[in-house]
Amino acid sequence: MQTLVDSFLSLVSFDSPSFEEDRLALYLEQKLLSLGLSTQYDEAGNLYAYLPGSGPTVLLNAHMDTVELARGAKPVVEHGIIKTDGSTALGADDKAALAAILSVLETIKEKRLDHPNLVVLFTTAEEQGLLGAKKVEKSFLSGIDYGFTFDASQDVGLAITSAPSYDRIEAIFTGKGAHAGFKPETGISAIQMGCDAVSAMHLLRIDTETTANIGSFIAEGAKNIVCDKATLVFEARSLSNEKLEKQVSSMKEALHASAGKHGGTVQIIHDRLYDAYHHESDALVLKIFRKACDTLSLPLREEPTLGGSDANILNALGIPTLVCSIGYEEAHTKGEYISIDQLTKLYLLTMELATL
């Protein structure tokens, strides 16, 4: 049996940015099959595995993809910390979770431990907006009582009790081109329309439950031409759907008002990428998590988040799923790291949740 750290380092050696998870998936599948699980894939490349037991049916979920910055990661182990040489991200998001789940399954087989019915779901393209999870085959997940998504930063022992709905808005302003020196008054500047719209919006931190942001503003053109096209991409998220709808409505109003003011047009494309969820204090999945933390003497924290995960999709499918922190820090940056202590605690917590 590989040690936990060796397993993690092996997984990090696979480049698996979003949409390039195939090699890692095959490696994971071979490991799962060797441990006696049955496996299958769906059309999105999500990997499912099953280990029959007795009692409830429990889902263990993590994602296989990393951000592009983790390509070519060269891990370094120093003073109990696993990081990279500083040229890439590490990919502990979410390979620490993959390593913990594999190690738990190896221990269950080696020690012949009693366990509930276990369903493993390793998803693709999570970093691109939960794209793999959105295409899960619900019939492959039938009969699950509750589940755990291992995918959050901070020390092990944190349970995410709420997560937001998330909307994406793309606004395409169309104006009228004109020579900026000879006849600027005959033009309609798409850049000016976009700027006026943004300046009229309430953005960034709206309240404790709601945020909004402009992620990109693209307006290509020559400096001596009144720009006739500009594309802006916004996001808004909130733990409250009512607040989210109010925020998005105000942003759309600003877009339309600016186009009307300048005599141009705006095309708005609005998508709900995922829906919010909230676990009540007496939810079974939370009770199970608390019991596991108590057994291991882990400091328990229960907090909401304004980030999304596969759990947003799984909860929407009717599978009560709790997001658990897995101990990494500085995800998606060249400074990403995880301590061996936190990786070990993640393994122990996963073991408790998989054998309760």
**Same domain as 62, residue 135:** yes
Residue appearing with tokens 């020196």: 181
Q: How far apart are CA 36 and CA 21, in angstroms?
A: 22
Read off the pLDDT band of 356 (50, 70, 90). confident
**Domain ranges, residue 201:** 168-274
**Same domain as 344, residue 215:** no
**Same domain as 149, residue 79:** yes
ω before 94 within 30° of 0 (cis)?
yes
**Same domain as 9, residue 137:** yes
**Same domain as 342, residue 196:** no
Domains in the chain, number: 2
Tokens of 290: 């608390």
**Same domain as 322, residue 190:** no
Q: What is the gyration radius of the CA atoms in the chain, in angstroms?
A: 23
Domain boundary among 245, 274, 303: 274
Burial of 120 (0-12, 13-18, 19+ CB in 10 A): buried
Q: Is the pLDDT of residue 89 over 60?
A: yes
Tokens of 343: 């990786």
Q: Which DSSP string do the residues of 48-109 spell out, in sequence order?
A: EEEE--SSSEEEEEEE--B-GGGTT--EEEETTEEEE-SSS---HHHHHHHHHHHHHHHHHH
CB of 270 closer than 8 Å to CB of 303: no
**Looking at residue 268, what is its pLDDT?**
98
**Same domain as 8, residue 69:** yes
Selected catalytic residue, list 21, 29, 42, 65: 65
**Same domain as 176, residue 319:** no
Q: 3-class secondary structure for 193-243?
A: HHHHHHHCCCCEEEECCEEEEEEEEECCCCCCECCCEEEEEEEEEECCHHH
Domain boundary among 246, 274, 302: 274
Name beta bridge partners: 267: 172
- 329 carries an active-site annotation: no
pLDDT tens column, 106-147: 999 999 999 999 999 999 999 999 999 999 999 999 999 999
**Same domain as 139, residue 82:** yes
- Give the mean model confidence (pLDDT) for residues 201-217: 97
pTM of the full structure: 0.92
Q: Is the pLDDT of residue 2 over 70?
A: no
CB of 16 closer than 8 Å to CB of 24: yes
Q: Is the pLDDT of residue 347 over 90?
A: yes
**Same domain as 298, residue 173:** no
Rounded alpha-carbon distances, angstroms, from residue 244 to 69, 104, 172, 197: 31, 39, 21, 18
**Looking at residue 138, what is its pLDDT?**
95
pLDDT tens column, 239-253: 999 999 999 999 999
Burial of 140 (0-12, 13-18, 19+ CB in 10 A): middle
Q: Is the pLDDT of residue 54 over 60?
A: yes
Q: How far apart are CA 337 and CA 263, in angstroms?
A: 51
Q: How far apart are CA 119 and CA 125, in angstroms?
A: 20
Identify the CATH number of the domain in which residue 216 sits.
3.30.70.360
Rounded alpha-carbon distances, angstroms, from residue 59 to 8, 15, 77, 355: 21, 26, 31, 12
**Same domain as 173, residue 134:** no
Tokens of 68: 């592009």
- 22 carries an active-site annotation: no
Domain boundary among 274, 300, 330: 274
- At 335 the three-state DSSP class reads coil
Q: From its phi and psi, is residue 91 left (phi > 0), alpha (psi between -120 and 50) or beta? A: left
Q: Is the pLDDT of residue 167 over 80?
A: yes
pLDDT tens column, 93-117: 999 999 999 999 999 999 999 999 9
- The average confidence (pLDDT) of the chain is 97
CB of 4 closer than 8 Å to CB of 101: no
Identify the CATH number of the domain in which residue 63 sits.
3.40.630.10
Tokens of 55: 């009692």
Q: Is the pLDDT of residue 343 over 70?
A: yes
Q: How far apart are CA 205 and CA 27, in angstroms?
A: 42
**Same domain as 325, residue 216:** no
**Looking at residue 114, what is its pLDDT?**
96
Selected catalytic residue, list 29, 93, 94, 126: 126
